[in-house]
Chain A
Amino acid sequence: MVKKAMIGSLAGIICGLFSTGGGMILVPAMVYLLKEDESKARGTSIFCILPMVITSSFFYYKGNYIDWKISILCAIGGAIGGYIGAKLLKKLPKKVLKIAFTVFLFYVSFKMITR
């Protein structure tokens, strides 16, 4: 229970701070610490992140940070892309994707820190 509470709180803080990354905490935490299998961990993590995102949205809304035009346009694109991505998922080489994503993360991280 303490473990679950800590994992949840940490994911929530990250989600509130950066708006993304809750899944990057939850999935490995559920797999390594709670011994959940990976696909169930993914499913459960999306379910958990939604209330965190809605909570965070409220604070960003109060802080006047939401640009509805950009958000809705991106969300429309996201719905289309999400569908394509889910279809592609079975066909793409998972390992190559993972490595490419890791390289990308290092690049963005470098850019964020140095600018």
Chain B
Amino acid sequence: MSPVDKNVHQGRFKMDKNVPKETSPWDKEESMEVLIGIISGIVSGTGMGGGTILIFFLTFFMGIEQHMAQATNLIFFIPTSIVAILVNIKNKNINLKLAVIISIFGILGAIIGAEISVHIDVSILRKCFGVFLALVALNEIYSITKEYKNSKNYK
């Protein structure tokens, strides 16, 4: 990859174009952010990792730093998930006892994870994220093949 390509990927040139800032209160960048939110929301709604898509779009197309993109994803998650939780409670789709135990340990884990993340170098963080996504993808392949086998057996 040439250095020029690299800059385009990080969105630097895109940002430079906006330098004489447009005077309209609703500029292009803002519409892009809402659009990215909509796309990620659709994916979240279908029950697959909307967060991954949000972080990917923000870092690759908007040139936003990884930590900031992750922080955006956290805030993004809160209102959407509250709605989803209410729907699930109504449908009695939550194992409350299990949820409480996992949440308690989850909060402890989140303190450790966030503390590491905030102090870690961006390039290392991105590489770790990449490895994690590859593992998730491998698990997806496993579950897809398993489902395929099951559907064959029950025919």
Chain A interfacial positions (CB closer than 8 Å to B): 1, 4-24, 26, 28, 30, 34, 36, 39-40, 42-44, 46-63, 65-89, 92, 95, 97-99, 101-102, 104-106, 108-113, 115
| Tally of chain B residues near chain A (CB < 8 A) | 92
Q: Which residues of A contact B40 (CB under 8 A)?
A: 74, 77-78, 81
Bound together, the chains give a CA A34 to CA B102 distance in angstroms of 12
In contact, B134 and A109 (Cβ under 8 angstroms): yes
Looking at chain B's contact residues, the main secondary structure is: helix
Task: Point out which of A18, A58, A59 has the most chain B C-beta atoms below 10 A from its C-beta.
Answer: A18
Query: Given known contacts A21-B133, A55-B111, what 4 new A-B pairs fall within 8 Å (CB)?
Result: A1-B101, A17-B125, A102-B137, A108-B52
CB pair B133 A109 closer than 8 Å: yes
Q: Which of B50, B52, B111, B127 contacts A105 (CB 8 A)?
A: B52
Asked if residues B77 and A109 are in contact (CB atoms below 8 Å), the reply is: no
Q: Judge if B23 is at the interface, Cβ distance under 8 Å.
A: no
- Does chain A have a CB within 8 A of B19? no
**In the bound complex, CA of A19 to CA of B126 (Å):** 12
A82 touches B94 (CB 8 A): no
B52 to chain A minimum Cβ distance, whole angstroms, is 6
CB-CB under 8 A from A101, the residues of chain B are: 48-49, 140
From B77, which residue of chain A is reached at the shortest CB distance?
A53
